[in-house]
Amino acid sequence: MSLLLFIEQVLNGLQFGVMLFLMAAGLTLIFGVMGLINLAHGSLYMIGAFAAAAVSAATGSFLLGLAASLAAAAAAGALIEVVVIRRLYDKDHLDQVLATFALILIFSEGTRWVFGSFPLYLDVPSYLAGSVTLPGGIEYPLYRLAIIAIGLLVAAGLFALIAWTRIGIQIRAGESDREMIAVLGVNISALYTIVFALGAALAGFAGALIGAIQSVQVGMGEPVLILAFVVIVIGGIGSIKGALVGAILVGLTDTLGRTLLPVAFDTFMTASAANAVGSALASMSIYILMAVLLVFKPTGLFGSA
Amino acid sequence: MQRETLINIIVLALLVLFPLWAWQADEPFMITLATRAVILALAGVGLNLALGLGGMVSFGHAVFFGVGGYAMGILASHAQSYEPIFEWPFLFEGSKFMPLIWLVAILSSGLAALAIGALSLRTSGVYFIMITLAFGQMFFYFTISWPAYGGEDGLSVYVRNGFPGLNTLDPIQFYGICLAILAIVLFAMSRLARSSFGLALSAARQNEERVQAVGIGVFRLRLMAFTISGAITGLAGALFADLNRFVSPVMFSWQTSGEIMIFVILGGVGRLYGPVIGAVLFIVLEHELGGLSEYWHIYLGALLLGVVLFARGGLIGVLAGREVAHD
């Protein structure tokens, strides 16, 4: 394998990782602050993608589509928080898993009902289409590069929000002692709604950005959701830093595994066997990574016990 | 407790009488539906041991369901092609003999549960849910990308496997086999829940430290329960594959894990007949609502949400009131 191809795959892995971070950040915030496992996070991702596709098809503007994805996912998130999720905070994990699994069923079928079973398409805007030549002569799609940049920007913004703003202080306080900050006069239920809507907006935004690369369809959220869970489990549930490290790790492992493993097995196997073994192992690689990590460090990289 | 026993008897009677009626009325499709319900109930009974009695929220029971299914698929496909599965260290040929297939399904899924449990039970809480989910995905992607047994397309078996003295292709006879297995497993479960093993397992769910303090190894206890639980779900997988004469990676998907969990919750967690009632209800809903609207999953989701938020004990909890006795 040439170095150029390798660098290109590293960039692809980064792009994938950054997207996973947008999903995982919301999940891990929601878990850290409210102690809730939200399986319906993938549905919010899907809602963001559908909103972006519908609005940008109607207005012709990609940016309006992105704005719509943020708004729609945040609104859907706030709505389910107030109607359903709020009742789940003091229930056990089993109830949370089931109730949010039920929400997936409702959202998926609801979306199918409104938009039909055929996928929608979201076009990359003309100013981000085409590819750029990076130093070293690598041709790389501009849009994917933009995703990496936007993702890192959002990550930086999120860290700043948590570290320096009033709401960030409340979020961190909520993570360490829920009763205490309620006693100190913080409106805890409003805070919960805001955190949930924030996480939802990040998921919807990720859905819209990815929607321009893949097709926008019902069920697009669940594979990403499971990967995002892997990310936060690897990073340590509740830790934003862990989510970032985990996301990049998972993105790189998955992308590089798919290209490198078949090549690696090729050196001592027949080509077809190497391809079969390599691709089978590659598709399992991140789950193997997670299982191995959990066996040695049962609370993830940055998790507290 | 008496009311729950009464409900259990009614359910069992229905499971015997309904297919007999369908047989008399010449409605083979209804018998197939009932067979599906009984097999899925068996899968749920397996999960209920880990989830209800042991308090282990496994989001990966599709693994065992799928391993059982593929055990049947691989044995039967080798019997079709007359190629041995392996010749070393001993000759192992394919088979269409149901009891052997069940044995292989139980052993292989039990072994998978032992390995997965040994790793996963080192964690707890959310991490346990997630690591079992990850193992499920691992098997799912492995079967998709492993070409030897059909890969993504799955594996078809042309003729249903045989059971001595019975014609398994006759729906009512195959139903009889499945119901008999379910009844035997339910009986074993009721004995197990009252045995010292079952009581200790239940105690460990309620207070781990105390059980540890009286000198019972909680890890080993849970691992054993998880293994038995996986083996039962694996047996259900083999029967399910035989019912459809088809296995595919979908059996390993996380939705399958979610559905098995739904049976347990709809019926009532930790109740002996909870998964049976849950699976029957699921099949009835699927049939009735599916006929009513293409989007029946919306109603299923709403119902599930209602059960979680307002009816904690599932259907049995609603009908029989708060139970006293399963712990």
CB contact under 8 A, A287 and B57: no
CB contact under 8 A, B298 and A288: no
* Mean pLDDT of the B295-308 span: 86
B residues 16..55 contacting A (CB < 8 A): 51
Q: Which residue of A98, A100, A239 to mutate against B (max B Cβ within 10 Å)?
A: A98
Where do the structural domains in chain B lie, given as residue ranges?
2-320
- What pLDDT is recorded for position B165? 86
Using a CB-CB cut-off of 8 Å, the residues of chain B touching A91 are 308
The CATH number of the domain where A292 resides is what? 1.10.3470
End-to-end CA distance of chain B: 12
CB contact under 8 A, B298 and A106: yes
* Mean pLDDT of the B4-32 span: 90
For helices A188-211 and A41-59, the axis angle rounded to 10 degrees is 60
CB contact under 8 A, A110 and B295: yes
The answer as to whether A302 is a domain residue is no
**What is the domain count for chain A?**
1
Per-residue pLDDT tens for A256-304? 988 888 888 878 778 777 777 887 888 888 888 888 888 788 888 887 6
The answer as to whether A171 is a domain residue is yes
Per-residue pLDDT tens for B233-268? 999 999 999 999 999 999 999 889 999 998 998 888
CB contact under 8 A, B145 and A113: no
Per-residue pLDDT tens for B91-109? 777 888 899 999 999 999 9
Pairing of strands A138-141, A131-134: antiparallel
Domain membership of residue A127 as a residue range: 3-296
- B89 upstream amide cis, omega within 30 of 0: yes
* Mean pLDDT of the A10-15 span: 92
Q: Where are the alpha helices (DSSP H) in chain A?
A: 3-34, 41-59, 62-83, 93-115, 142-164, 166-176, 178-183, 188-211, 221-235, 240-266, 271-296
The answer as to whether A305 is a domain residue is no
Q: CB of B172 within 8 Å of any CB in chain A?
A: no
The more confident residue out of A266 and B25 is B25
* Mean pLDDT of the A105-131 span: 87
The answer as to whether A103 is a domain residue is yes
Q: Which residue of B124, B297, B299, B303 to mutate against A (max A Cβ within 10 Å)?
A: B297
Q: CB of B63 within 8 Å of any CB in chain A?
A: no
CB contact under 8 A, B122 and A230: no
